[in-house]
Structure 1
Amino acid sequence: MPEETADAAAADAAVAPGRAERHLTRTPALVGVVLLVAAAGWTLAADDLGFPGFLLMILGGWCLGFAFVNTVFAMQPVRLGVMLHIGVAVALGLAMYAMIEHGSRLVDGLPEQARAPILVLQIAAGPAAGWIWLGLLSRLADVFTRRDRARRPTPTTPTWEREPDGDGSGVRFSALPLRMSTITRATVVMVVVLGAAGVALLIALDDLVMRLGARVAIIALGILIAFPAYLGVLAVVRRRTLRCTLAFGNDEVRVVAGARTHVIPFRELDALVWRRGTDYARVEVRVDGVDLSLVVGLAKPARGRTPELPELPRRVFRRLELAGMSVERSRRDEIVTFRRAS
């Protein structure tokens, strides 16, 4: 049998973009535009900002910022994504400053129908800029941690190991038993709750906000509320990390997630999703009676390992195709999706 590492290097990884990926990359931008259009309509119809309109602007701005950060983090080469990230962050900060300092003189002479969209964009720019700057902070934190990484052995990707009984190979990794739809819903709920809390805090501290200015107040909210909340949620979620093993035999896939073990023959498998990298690295196994989703990218990895999965060996492609599975491929080859051929 060919060496597993050679098989992995030669594997033609592929994936069709799943529904969760579309939700996390394309849908937020579309939802953001819809929310901002609704906010403009509300403002014109009610002739007053009001809390519903303000909340629509906050959520719409965050959706656009979220979509932008996802896009630049996925860009290749990485340097291009970093340059675009910095450029948009700086430009958006300067635009917000200009609107705060000189916006009234520019807007006062415009008709009411033109003021509403400008007001919507001005308020929505706050949460969008906050999320974009949080993304830059994460890049900056990664730069400062490189020195610590240099002192420690470089973490490596989990590797395939021959099974003791000689039937195929397996890989050990850490994962969270979560579905991508659950992560998406949790993200939306967290943004709504934090947005409402931020609005309430801005209203309660109206005098202080007026003295500091909207730009400083929004940045302070991101630093004091959004960033700690994100770290807190991530810490709580990571407590559910399980030590997992997945092995592909000649005719079956064996999955051990914590104390639970699943042995699924290839001929009974309905779908298998394999994503190697990013925060959404995961493996999904679906069969009648079993719907297993193990998210590797958000879990706390074992010492010396990275939170990702290795490439699938070529023999797995052959075995699953012989068992009647079809392979769907994506443009970026980030995910491999096997489905039962109809």
Structure 2
Amino acid sequence: MPDSPTDGATTSRRPTEQSTPRAAHQWRIWFVIVPALIGVVLCAAGALLVTPTSDGGFPAYLCVIIGGWAVGFALVNALSAWPERWQWGGHVALALGAIALLASTTPLIRTLGSLPEPWPRSLSVVALGIPPAGGWVLITLLGRISGRFDRAAERRAAALAEPTWSGADRRPEVTVNAARFTTAALTALAVGAVVVVGALSAVVVIVTERWLLRLPPLMIVVALGLFVGMPVYAAIWGVVNSRRLPVTLRWHTGALVVDAEDRWTVPYPMIQSVIWRSQGDTARFEVHPATRSETFLVGMVRQQNGKASQLPPLMHRMRRVLEESGLRPHERRGTLRYTRSAPTNTVSGSGAPPSALG
């Protein structure tokens, strides 16, 4: 989403406080006045294409769709001449007006039918330009809000301390808050979330069909995200944090030690796979030996002492130990996976034991 009232192609050319009056004037001409005039001309052209025997067909429809969008584009860009705080108020006012117009488009077209000819057919075609204009106003407001949240999140993230490895060189460790899951429980949570989102979306569409289907397709997606997706995400966040507990991961010589309510020691040759993701909502580490599997989700879990909800990257010595124990690395989209090509049935495994971390 764009973080300004215009799209990404024009953001870099918007006037700023440092812009010269001439540059600001030129910008207003090309990105406010010209689009507004083009929009009015196209809407008028669409109306003129309508005749007593024809509704203008596709050319008239295309003219008013593009013309409506151009008018909305110009209205949003016009806000750039205002102070920042007034831009927000103006954009919200435009959005409220757009919602009112979108909700009344169909009744308006019916009302226009009572006017004397040739006005009903021509004005009804022009009214079809309301959805693209209103849709652009709403989408850019969402982009402005999203940009504000993104910048605030970036500032908060920059202020958070990243977790780091501590302890002796031969026994590095890290302590974080994590939610403990089995693989089956985590899969059930993900599948359940998908089912709930799908069911709630269907219910919302059925109950609000009369109003929802008047919105542009993209705005329907946005509405479902706000009223269905975000509450479900909040519920998942609550479930995950209800399992929050301090977890300490220690890389000892010959074994991986996990302290989470109880101590779990896994010799490296017994590990079938290790999954490590440092950042994002799915930041986690997974340890899968032959007899037990544990997943420790960190990315959605609230941390203490102002720390970021993430994991430190694996150190080179840790990677080497895993590889020397017979695990092969595969990295994709920020997720590092170590998997064993052949099952290991003994604690010692085959071949030489992995070297110490030092």
- The two structures have a TM-score, normalised by structure 1, of 0.50
- Where do 1:127-142 residues align within 5 Å? 140-142=148-150
- Percent of paired sites with the same residue: 27
Offset of 1:313 from its aligned partner? 2.1
Using the alignment, how far apart are the partners of 2:210 and 2:271 within structure 1? 61
Residues 74-127 of structure 1, C-alpha deviations (whole Å, 9 max, x = no match):
xxxxxxxxxxxxxxxxxxxxxxx9xx99xxxxxxxxxxxxxxxxxxxxxxxxxx
- Where do 1:1-342 residues align within 5 Å? 140-146=148-154, 149=156, 154-163=159-168, 167-178=170-181, 182-183=185-186, 185-209=188-212, 213=215, 219-257=222-260, 259-322=261-324, 324-330=325-331, 334-339=335-340
Q: Which has the higher helix share?
A: 1
Offset of 1:249 from its aligned partner? 1.1
Greater RCO, CA 8 A, separation 6+: 1
1:247–1:255 Cα contact (<8 Å) kept: yes
Residues 175-231 of structure 1, C-alpha deviations (whole Å, 9 max, x = no match):
111356654553443333333333334333444446x54656664443233322322
Using the alignment, how far apart are the partners of 1:170 and 1:337 within structure 2? 19
1:157–1:308 Cα contact (<8 Å) kept: yes
1:272–1:338 Cα contact (<8 Å) kept: yes
Aligned to 2:177, the other structure's residue is in SS state strand
Using the alignment, how far apart are the partners of 1:319 and 1:337 within structure 2? 11
1:277–1:334 Cα contact (<8 Å) kept: no
1:175–1:295 Cα contact (<8 Å) kept: yes
1:173–1:301 Cα contact (<8 Å) kept: yes
Quickly say closer, same or farther: Cα 1:341–1:310, change in 2 above 3 A. Answer: farther
Offset of 1:269 from its aligned partner? 2.4
Instruction: Give the residue type in structure 2 aligned to 1:225.
Output: V
Tell me how many residue pairs correspond in the alignment.
Answer: 206
Residues 26-49 of structure 1, C-alpha deviations (whole Å, 9 max, x = no match):
xxxxxxxxxxxxxxxxxxxxxxxx
Offset of 1:247 from its aligned partner? 0.6
Offset of 1:232 from its aligned partner? 2.6
Using the alignment, how far apart are the partners of 1:174 and 1:135 within structure 2? 33
1:329–1:337 Cα contact (<8 Å) kept: yes
1:252–1:265 Cα contact (<8 Å) kept: yes
Aligned to 1:312, the other structure's residue is in SS state coil
Offset of 1:301 from its aligned partner? 2.1
1:170–1:248 Cα contact (<8 Å) kept: yes
Using the alignment, how far apart are the partners of 1:288 and 1:295 within structure 2? 21
Quickly say closer, same or farther: Cα 1:289–1:207, change in 2 above 3 A. Answer: closer
1:177–1:295 Cα contact (<8 Å) kept: yes
Instruction: Give the residue type in structure 2 aligned to 1:241.
Output: R
Quickly say closer, same or farther: Cα 1:138–1:261, change in 2 above 3 A. Answer: farther
Offset of 1:255 from its aligned partner? 0.3
Using the alignment, how far apart are the partners of 1:221 and 1:338 within structure 2? 39
Quickly say closer, same or farther: Cα 1:137–1:250, change in 2 above 3 A. Answer: farther
Aligned to 1:158, the other structure's residue is in SS state coil
2:328–2:341 Cα contact (<8 Å) kept: no
Using the alignment, how far apart are the partners of 1:332 and 1:312 within structure 2? 16
Q: Look at both structures and tell me which one has the larger radius of gyration over its CA atoms.
A: 2
Offset of 1:144 from its aligned partner? 3.0
Quickly say closer, same or farther: Cα 1:270–1:331, change in 2 above 3 A. Answer: closer
Quickly say closer, same or farther: Cα 1:138–1:240, change in 2 above 3 A. Answer: farther
Where does structure 1 lack aligned partners over 5 or more consecutive residues? 1-96, 102-132
Offset of 1:245 from its aligned partner? 0.4
Instruction: Give the residue type in structure 2 aligned to 1:266.
Output: Y
Instruction: Give the residue type in structure 2 aligned to 1:329.
Output: H
Where does structure 2 lack aligned partners over 5 or more consecutive residues? 1-101, 107-140, 344-358
Quickly say closer, same or farther: Cα 1:223–1:173, change in 2 above 3 A. Answer: same
- The two structures have a TM-score, normalised by structure 2, of 0.48
2:171–2:251 Cα contact (<8 Å) kept: yes
Quickly say closer, same or farther: Cα 1:318–1:136, change in 2 above 3 A. Answer: farther
Offset of 1:155 from its aligned partner? 1.5
2:322–2:338 Cα contact (<8 Å) kept: no
1:271–1:340 Cα contact (<8 Å) kept: no
Instruction: Give the residue type in structure 2 aligned to 1:162.
Output: G
Partner of 1:70: none
